[in-house]
Amino acid sequence: MDKRRIVAGYCRVSTLEQKKKGYGIDIQMREIADYAETFGLSVGEDFFIDKARSGVTENRKALMKLLKACKSGRIGGVIVSSLDRLSRDLRLTENLLFEFHRLGVQVHIADMPYYDRANRKDVLLRQIREAIAEENRKEIIERLKKGREERVRKGRMAGGMVPYGYSRAGKDIAKNSHEMEIVNLIFFLRDEEKDGQAIADCLNDQGFTRRNGKPWTQRQVLAILSRDTLYRSGVVRYGEIEGRNDSLIILGK
């Protein structure tokens, strides 16, 4: 490898993986540093890190910067702690490995320390591991989906961002008195036959702001109005699954 070209480390962790032991950025960086030391490579400060980024998309800020640096000829090698840090999609992983090879960039895999891309058995093992990573991702998504469906059947929120009008209370969801006031006002104004923009203007004129402190817009007002069954009847949905929880009713309470 040209001594003028450096070796870089690439790390990635998704939002879901941030909650799981063993996927942290610090752990990946340590594994990359250990690999580099073992094989006489120097990474230094050249780490490209994507936090909370899916492994099935190529549109990652740090990955794009890494590829750009490789195309410029500045980087001659990349170290990853494992193949699934590049991607959990077999096709995308293969495309990235092909692109690195085309650019003359050597890819080092810390948990496959003696991988040789010229060895057919090594390539087969690599592709098997790529397929396993893709399948594991699908299993995680399926388990997450089933868990959310079960929560909704029991009348609980599916997860993710809490709808306007409510706040997290530990593991539970509770009504937010300030946001409840605004929800009731929005539906009152709707019943007065005001359209979304007129309602937004009214809220802003009265000094009400959204949860993030920004002014109300027609789009945000319509989002509130679209949750009529939640606010009026306590109905929660996830896909085609539906549940009911009277404690979530806001309108008329």
> What six digits make up the tokens of 241?
């699954």
- Identify the domain containing residue 99 by its residue range: 6-140
User: Among residues of the chain, what percentage have pLDDT more than 90?
Assistant: 78
pLDDT tens for 202-213 read: 999 999 999 999
Same domain assignment for residues 19 and 114: yes
Whether 152 maps to a domain, the answer reads no
Whether 73 maps to a domain, the answer reads yes
Same domain assignment for residues 163 and 136: no
Same domain assignment for residues 128 and 167: no
pLDDT tens for 113-163 read: 999 999 999 999 999 999 999 998 899 889 989 999 999 999 999 988 899
User: Is residue 253 scored above 70 in pLDDT?
Assistant: no
Kindly report the CATH number assigned to the domain that includes residue 228: 3.90.1750.20
Same domain assignment for residues 44 and 81: yes
CA distance 70 to 107: 11
> What six digits make up the tokens of 33?
């540093």
Of 77, 106, 140, the domain-final residue? 140
Whether 192 maps to a domain, the answer reads yes
* pLDDT for the residue numbered 235: 95
Same domain assignment for residues 37 and 77: yes
The average pLDDT across 174-199 equals 95
pLDDT tens for 206-236 read: 999 999 999 999 999 999 999 999 999 999 9
The count of residues in the chain is 253
Domain count, the chain: 2
Kindly provide the residue ranges of all beta strands, DSSP E only, lying in 98-240, ordered along the sequence.
106-109, 166-169, 172-175, 235-238
User: Is residue 87 scored above 60 in pLDDT?
Assistant: yes
Kindly report the CATH number assigned to the domain that includes residue 63: 3.40.50.1390
Q: What contacts 77, CB < 8 A, 6 or more positions away?
A: 1, 5, 6, 7, 8, 41, 105, 106, 107, 108
Whether 239 maps to a domain, the answer reads yes
Q: What is the mean pLDDT of the chain?
A: 90
Whether 227 maps to a domain, the answer reads yes
Whether 94 maps to a domain, the answer reads yes
